[in-house]
């Protein structure tokens, strides 16, 4: 990615520093030296996680290692940690609930504590993200660092990829590519109706959380508008009428009330519009796929 950023912004504006062992003592001391803002986006857990305690024992120390290094570095003014929408809820269009800023996915934790064999794919990951974020907030409240601290809870991400040639089309943006190609449809069908966030909007939310005065001690819900893959298939078909896009079963729409207003107001302050529409996000996602194809 260094050539990409050098070409776009000029030389000397982007630097890669390799941290070979996130959990090693002092691993973060040099990387954070002279830094003003930190966005923590790395994580090791996957959707197939079963042993949540082992995952917590592995990941919590390297997150707190970063937070402590930031606390000890006078230049650091703000830190943002990436949690997950699933730390707050399990998507289910058949239910109607009201989430609030400090909602956690207690249901996923209960399921994993009761019987790990009944969790189902993704439940362990949801429980892990909920417990990890809670532990991190406990650390912040106990240690009282001088920097501002916020967490961002991204929903399903669609939209443009920064550099398809270097990155490919990854994560949930890749599901749009699968749908267009008619592959992995069973996996796509398993994704329940929920919310999404555009890649650019999510990036702006990190910038806002790091730089906006008065944003501190908040959980920012990066929940844009509603989506299901039946609608995404229709959007793709309209964008490429010459192609045969698979028709997906419609499992309805998310009915939950979500506390996404604060996050949207921060995004709107930077882009002037708030959350991108699903149509615009999928169009941008498709354009990135076409760039990759050449």
Average pLDDT over residues 35-44: 91
Average pLDDT over residues 84-88: 97
Whether residue 118 is predicted with pLDDT greater than 70 in this model: the reply is no
* Tens-place pLDDT, residues 172-225: 999 999 999 999 999 999 999 999 999 999 999 999 999 999 999 999 999 999
- Give the DSSP per-residue string, 10-33: -TTS------S-TTSTTTTTTTTT
3-state secondary structure of 183: coil
User: How distant, in Å, are the alpha carbons of 18, 27, 63, 65, 214 from that of 70?
Assistant: 17, 12, 11, 9, 19
- Domain 16-154 superfamily per CATH: NAD(P)-binding Rossmann-like Domain (3.40.50.720)
What confidence score (pLDDT) does residue 44 get? 77
Top pLDDT among 62 and 132 is at 132
Whether residue 137 is predicted with pLDDT greater than 90 in this model: the reply is yes
- Give the DSSP per-residue string, 98-111: B--TT---HHHHHH
What confidence score (pLDDT) does residue 123 get? 92
Domain assignments of the chain as residue spans, ordered by start: 16-154
What confidence score (pLDDT) does residue 119 get? 59
CA 288/CA 64 separation, integer angstroms: 35
Whether residue 82 is predicted with pLDDT greater than 70 in this model: the reply is yes
Whether residue 136 is predicted with pLDDT greater than 60 in this model: the reply is yes
């Amino acid at each position: 990615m260094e050539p990409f950023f050098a070409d776009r912004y000029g030389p000397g504006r982007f630097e890669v520093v390799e941290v070979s062992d996130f959990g090693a003592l002092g691993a973060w001391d040099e990387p954070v030296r002279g830094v003003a803002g930190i966005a923590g986006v790395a994580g090791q857990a996957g959707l197939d996680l079963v042993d949540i305690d082992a995952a917590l024992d592995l990941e919590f120390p390297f997150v707190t290692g970063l937070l402590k290094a930031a606390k000890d570095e006078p230049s650091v003014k703000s830190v943002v940690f990436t949690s997950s929408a699933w730390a707050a809820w399990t998507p289910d269009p058949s239910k109607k609930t009201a989430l609030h800023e400090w909602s956690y996915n207690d249901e996923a934790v209960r399921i994993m504590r009761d019987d790990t064999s009944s969790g189902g794919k993704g439940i362990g990951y949801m429980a892990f993200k909920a417990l990890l974020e809670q532990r991190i907030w406990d650390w912040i409240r106990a240690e009282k660092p001088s920097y501002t601290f916020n967490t961002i809870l991204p929903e399903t991400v669609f939209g443009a990829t920064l550099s398809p040639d270097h990155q490919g089309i990854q994560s949930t943006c890749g599901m749009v590519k699968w749908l267009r190609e008619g592959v992995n449809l069973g996996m796509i069908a398993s994704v329940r109706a929920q919310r999404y966030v555009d890649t650019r909007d999510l990036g702006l939310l990190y910038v806002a959380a790091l730089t906006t005065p008065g944003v501190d001690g908040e959980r920012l819900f990066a929940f844009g508008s509603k989506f299901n893959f039946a609608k995404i298939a229709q959007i793709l078909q309209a964008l490429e009428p010459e192609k045969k896009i698979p028709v997906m079963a419609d499992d309805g729409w998310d009915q939950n009330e979500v506390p996404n207003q604060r996050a949207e107001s921060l995004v709107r302050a930077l882009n002037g519009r708030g959350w991108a529409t699903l149509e615009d996000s999928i169009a941008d996602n498709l354009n990135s796929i076409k760039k990759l194809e050449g």
